Amino acid sequence: MFMVSVPLSVVIGGPVSGLLLSLHGPFGMQGWQWVYIVEAVPALALGVATYFYLTDSPGRARWLPEAERAWLARRLETERFETERYATRRPTLLRALANSRILALVVIDIAICALNTGVGVFLPQIVKGFGVKSNLDVGLITAIPYLVAAVGMIWWGLNSDRRQERRLHTAVPLGICALGLAGSVMIPGAAPKMACMTAVMFGLYSMQPVFWTLPGMFLTGAALAGSFAAINSIGNLAGFAAPYAMGWAKDATGSFDAGLLGIAAVAVIGMLVALRVAGNRLAPSMPRQPDGAQVSPASGGTMAGGTVPG
């Protein structure tokens, strides 16, 4: 539920950006300048709000009822205990960075970041290559795959929780991404290509909430926080390189096909690594909420009628 805001932001932002790009003249600024200004203002405002609203622990979250604060604190402590109980040695940041499973997760995140920037950044240009002229129409068409991705993200996460399974729910979407990219290159026609791109976005976004549960299955505390940082930092190097690779392929060949196939190959590597990642076991301890409902420590639980991210 938390991460679904990412594809929904494109569903809203795509058409809005298309409209803003058509603004020319007010205050002597071009459309692209208006995009930068209008889309920066909410981020600046929310940055200030976040500083005062978010807390470092649930125990300090005054916006949560006392019973929920206490339940969250107990649950976090139970997760920490269970993770350390099944570890051969107490997890630390240095051990986490030397852990083969963390390195495997880095490879998977490289595939995710390559898909995110290599495909996502260029999707409006790919759509425009179908013969769409208006920036607004490009924004509206580009929003379709992200809308499907938002719905798929919720469904796929719920399915992963019901089955209490993480590894295949990370690997299968990567395979869908690879097939979608290959299909977008090989299948003729704008509509089939767009359907393939929709499958790519479904796979890309549906896997991410599941993927980020994997480190918490064998790490806790500072080691877990450090592993998130390491995975993100190294993975984002692919996010830096992928747009350059796509641009180079477009300049060299006149189309995005070679770049898309290259990213498809990276997705296949990520899928194969995901299939071999150890630590698919979910912790056996099942903490209970104040109302007595049973929840899984490694996934989400329900609280106050909604889903709580793990």
The 10s digit of each residue's pLDDT in 174-209 is 999 999 999 999 988 888 999 999 999 999 999 999
Q: Is the pTM of this model over 0.95?
A: no
DSSP state of 86: S
For the domain made up of 5-54+87-279+288-300, give the CATH fold. Growth Hormone; Chain: A; (1.20.1250)
pLDDT reading at 291 higher than 80: no
- Residue 53, judged by CB atoms within 10 A of its CB (0-12, 13-18, 19+), counts as exposed
pLDDT recorded at residue 120:
85
Mean pLDDT, range 65-86, rounded to an integer = 80
Whether residue 306 is predicted with pLDDT greater than 70 in this model: the reply is no
Confidence band of 286 (pLDDT split at 50, 70, 90): very low
CB contact at 8 A, 302 and 71: no
Better-scored residue on pLDDT, 98 or 138 = 138
Average pLDDT value for residue range 100-124 = 89
List alpha helices for 135-220, DSSP H: 135-163, 167-186, 190-211
The pLDDT, as a whole number, for residue 194 is: 92
Q: Quick one: what percent of the chain has pLDDT higher than 70?
A: 83
Residue 210 pLDDT: 92
State the Cα–Cα distance between residues 302 and 279, nearest whole angstrom: 24
Q: Which residues pair with 162 in a beta bridge?
A: none
Q: Report pLDDT for 58.
A: 82
- pLDDT attached to residue 301: 37
Q: Record the tokens describing residue 82, joined without a space.
A: 């269970």
For 50-54, 175-179, 217-221, 268-272, which range has the lowest pLDDT when averaged over its residues?
A: 217-221
pLDDT band at 211 (very low <50, low <70, confident <90, very high): very high
- Using a 10 angstrom Cβ sphere, with 0-12 exposed, 13-18 middle and 19 or more buried, the burial of residue 269 is middle
Angle at 299 between CA 294 and CA 303, to 5 degrees: 50
Mean pLDDT of 43-47: 92
- As a whole number, the mean pLDDT across the chain is 81
Mean pLDDT of 270-292: 60
> Cβ-count burial of 114 within 10 angstroms (0-12 exposed, 13-18 middle, 19+ buried)?
buried
Confidence of residue 16 (pLDDT cuts 50, 70, 90): confident
With CA atoms as reference, report the closest residue to 222 among 87, 59, 58, 91.
91
- The answer to which of 13-22, 154-163, 294-303 has the lowest mean pLDDT is 294-303
Residue 92 makes CB contacts below 8 A (sequence gap 6+) with 222, 223
